[in-house]
Chain A
Amino acid sequence: MDQILVQTLHGLVNGMVLAMVASGLTLIFGIMDIVNFAHGDLLMLGAFVGASVLGVTGNYWLALLGAALVIAALGAVLQVTTLRPLIGRDPLTTILATFGISLVIQKYALWQWGPSVRRISEPVPGDFTLFHLQYPWYRIATAVLAGLILGGLWLFLKYGKYGIWIRATTQDRLMAQAMGIPVPLVYTAVFAIGSAMAAASGVLFGPFAGVTQTMGFDFTLRAFIVVVVGGMGNLGGSILASIFVSLLESYAAIVVSPAQAVIVSFVVLVLTMLFRPTGLFVPTPK
């Protein structure tokens, strides 16, 4: 019973971080039809930048902000140099291009920071007791922070002037262009925002298990899964799906080893693609 409770908490916390990862991916997909294979590697790079800033300044919040800004700038540069020339081509070419980018980023991180695990120290100290099990506060704080950032993103998309530009571009890019919205600029901005979300979630996740240069692929895969389960390009859906999938994985980890628990989310993905290809958490399309 205790275990179930702890795993529920675990699942919710992981789900919130995953939701942040997935939100960047789904934003980029929804607006640009780009499946960003480098998303997890941008996250990893963000985590390393965050760890470095933390090492210099000792301030967690500065690390979070610094990582987000640096990776956003990198994302903008990547979009302009490699993805912009591919607009109008087969969407599969963008998968290949971002895959190439992911290779480069991964090896660059290895070159820059080496193969060892970097720690990001916990922003909030202390544990609390849940029945008779210790649970660290920082995990709760991380989940709340992720929720706040996601809420901020949602508010921005819903009410911000530029958010409305972005949503207009998603709905109809030709009409948006005709209305005077600078669509190419919106694309670059969206890719930068998505990258910043990835970097921020990297810093948030840092204290959980440390930062390594190979962590990216795992996150890319998980983010893909929840984005497809939640419905491609659907922000709310992918947040729900993140929590759903993370909870399932947590419960599965009671029975089997965590490495095998991943298979549960694979199965959810396959079942979703077969029976509800538009996503679990969207109304059935007419």
Chain B
Amino acid sequence: MTAMPAARPRSPAVGYWIGFAVVVGLLVVAPLVLPPFWQRFATEILIWGLLAMSSDILIGYTGMVSFGHSAFFGLGMYGAAAALLTVKPPSLGLAVLYGLVAAGGAAVFVAYFATRLRDIYFAISTLVFSQIFYVIIFTWTEVTGGENGLTFGQPRLSLLGLGSDRFTPTTFHWFVLAVVLISYLLVRRITQSPFGQVLQSIRENEPRTRAIGYHVERYKIVAVMLSGLFAGLAGVLYAFQNKFAAPDFVFFVVSGEVVIFNVMGGMGTLVGPFAGAAFFLLLREGLSRFLTEYYLIPLGIIFVIMIIFLPQGLLGFLRRRLNA
């Protein structure tokens, strides 16, 4: 782990904002120029990236590896499903609200217990909690649809009562992009706030942070809850895109992929997880063309090699600049 970035004498990195504007510009234009398949692909990268970024709050900034993010993601999906299936007519706002409440509730529960543990014990306990949710969702067939999951229609786009319109793939992409951008800027602001600084000092030296007088457990609980909320938001978006919720998304494999995105892209950068998700999904797309489901064999090997030789991830070298 590198030391915390020192305060810079010169004002904000102009380079950072130029880069930011270029990437956002590209993402806005993407659905207009890409063929339908890749358009959907770009939207998906944004959603998985948002999920991975939520986990980065814990992995990269607080130094806690969560192996249970599938729980928050999945509960976000099921929460949205509940709103879309029970409330007539389906409402976008309510779906987001239900999803966030479900994910947030789960996050409070997990945070309360898991944050008392450290390092691998934290990782194992988050994994176990996500499996508890998985077993409940998988076996409670009457409510959750069990193995088959739930299918529902897409809500209509309506913002603050200003008319309502069907989502086209293009407007949906823009909607996701807007949500992701707001989330990113929010999380970035949080990590730079005094609260975020405390999280980073927990990562660097927990006993010392405690000795200074910070209530470390409380900070960790809030961090897990924040992370869970954003993961739930990603789940809601994913539910909108695919119009179904399935127990597979609560299973451990999703949590594992989230960690992979973070490691590949670069932990502690917030942008890295998006890059990691893009890298992973592109590789998967390319490899599964001729390897079908065995794509994980070369991908797993690449992952292990990256852990050994590139522990900072793809964007790790930009870490200081991205947090400036």
Binding site for B on A (CB under 8 A): 35, 82, 85-86, 89, 91-93, 95-97, 99-101, 103-104, 106-108, 110-111, 217, 221, 224-225, 228, 257, 259-260, 262-263, 266, 269-270, 273-274, 277
B119 and A91 within 8 A (CB):
yes
The distance in angstroms between the C-alpha atoms of A100 and B295, with both chains bound, is 13
B293 and A95 within 8 A (CB):
no
* 17 more A-B residue pairs beyond the given contacts A95-B123, A266-B129, A269-B124, with a C-beta to C-beta distance below 8 A: A93-B307, A95-B65, A96-B259, A96-B307, A97-B304, A100-B260, A100-B304, A103-B256, A103-B296, A104-B297, A108-B297, A260-B135, A262-B135, A266-B132, A270-B125, A273-B116, A273-B125
Partner pick for A86 among B128, B131, B299, B308, CB 8 A cutoff: B308
Contact residues of B between 110 and 136, Cβ < 8 Å to A: 113, 116-117, 119-121, 123-125, 127-129, 131-132, 135-136
Partner pick for B300 among A100, A263, A270, CB 8 A cutoff: A100
Partner pick for A263 among B123, B125, B135, B256, CB 8 A cutoff: B135
**Contact A111:B139 (CB < 8 A) given known A89-B311, A224-B124:** no
User: From residue B69, how far is it (CB to closest CB) to chain A in Å?
Assistant: 14
A277 and B120 within 8 A (CB):
no
User: From residue A16, how far is it (CB to closest CB) to chain B in Å?
Assistant: 23
Most buried by A among B120, B132, B301, B311: B120
What A residues does B317 contact at CB under 8 A?
Answer: none
What A residues does B294 contact at CB under 8 A?
Answer: 107, 110-111
A273 and B117 within 8 A (CB):
yes
B301 and A104 within 8 A (CB):
yes
A277 and B121 within 8 A (CB):
yes
- Inter-chain CB contacts under 8 Å: number: 100
User: From residue A92, how far is it (CB to closest CB) to chain B in Å?
Assistant: 5
What B residues does A82 contact at CB under 8 A?
Answer: 304, 308
B311 and A270 within 8 A (CB):
no
What B residues does A262 contact at CB under 8 A?
Answer: 131, 135
Q: Bin chain B's interface residue count.
A: 35 or more
User: From residue A134, how far is it (CB to closest CB) to chain B in Å?
Assistant: 28
Chain A residue with the shortest CB-CB distance to B308: A85
DSSP majority for the A interface?
helix
DSSP majority for the B interface?
helix
Partner pick for A274 among B116, B131, B132, B297, CB 8 A cutoff: B116
User: From residue A234, how far is it (CB to closest CB) to chain B in Å?
Assistant: 15
Q: Ordered nearest first, which 4 A-B pairs have the shortest CB separation?
A: A104-B300, A103-B300, A100-B304, A100-B303
Contact residues of B between 171 and 224, Cβ < 8 Å to A: none
Chain A residue with the shortest CB-CB distance to B301: A104
A101 and B113 within 8 A (CB):
no
Tell whether B61 is near chain A: CB-to-CB under 8 Å.
Answer: no
**Contact A266:B119 (CB < 8 A) given known A103-B300, A274-B113:** no
11 A-B residue pairings within 8 Å (CB atoms): A93-B307, A104-B296, A104-B301, A107-B296, A221-B127, A224-B124, A257-B139, A260-B135, A266-B129, A266-B131, A269-B128
The distance in angstroms between the C-alpha atoms of A106 and B299, with both chains bound, is 13
Most buried by A among B116, B138, B297: B297
Chain B residue with the shortest CB-CB distance to A34: B120
B308 and A263 within 8 A (CB):
no
A97 and B307 within 8 A (CB):
yes
B135 and A99 within 8 A (CB):
no
User: From residue A127, how far is it (CB to closest CB) to chain B in Å?
Assistant: 31
Most buried by A among B113, B260, B308: B308
B121 and A228 within 8 A (CB):
yes
The distance in angstroms between the C-alpha atoms of A100 and B264, with both chains bound, is 12
User: From residue B142, how far is it (CB to closest CB) to chain A in Å?
Assistant: 14
Partner pick for A270 among B128, B252, B263, B304, CB 8 A cutoff: B128
What B residues does A97 contact at CB under 8 A?
Answer: 304, 307-308
Chain B residue with the shortest CB-CB distance to A99: B256
User: From residue B40, how far is it (CB to closest CB) to chain A in Å?
Assistant: 25
B121 and A273 within 8 A (CB):
yes
Contact residues of B between 246 and 296, Cβ < 8 Å to A: 252, 256, 259-260, 263, 293-294, 296
A92 and B119 within 8 A (CB):
yes
Contact residues of B between 125 and 159, Cβ < 8 Å to A: 125, 127-129, 131-132, 135-136, 138-139
The distance in angstroms between the C-alpha atoms of A111 and B256, with both chains bound, is 21
The distance in angstroms between the C-alpha atoms of A270 and B124, with both chains bound, is 10
Partner pick for A221 among B131, B259, B263, CB 8 A cutoff: B131
User: From residue B302, how far is it (CB to closest CB) to chain A in Å?
Assistant: 9
The distance in angstroms between the C-alpha atoms of A274 and B296, with both chains bound, is 36
**Contact A221:B139 (CB < 8 A) given known A82-B308, A92-B120, A95-B123:** no
**Contact A111:B311 (CB < 8 A) given known A217-B252, A266-B128:** no
The distance in angstroms between the C-alpha atoms of A163 and B13, with both chains bound, is 58
User: From residue B206, how far is it (CB to closest CB) to chain A in Å?
Assistant: 14
A263 and B296 within 8 A (CB):
no
What A residues does B256 contact at CB under 8 A?
Answer: 99, 103
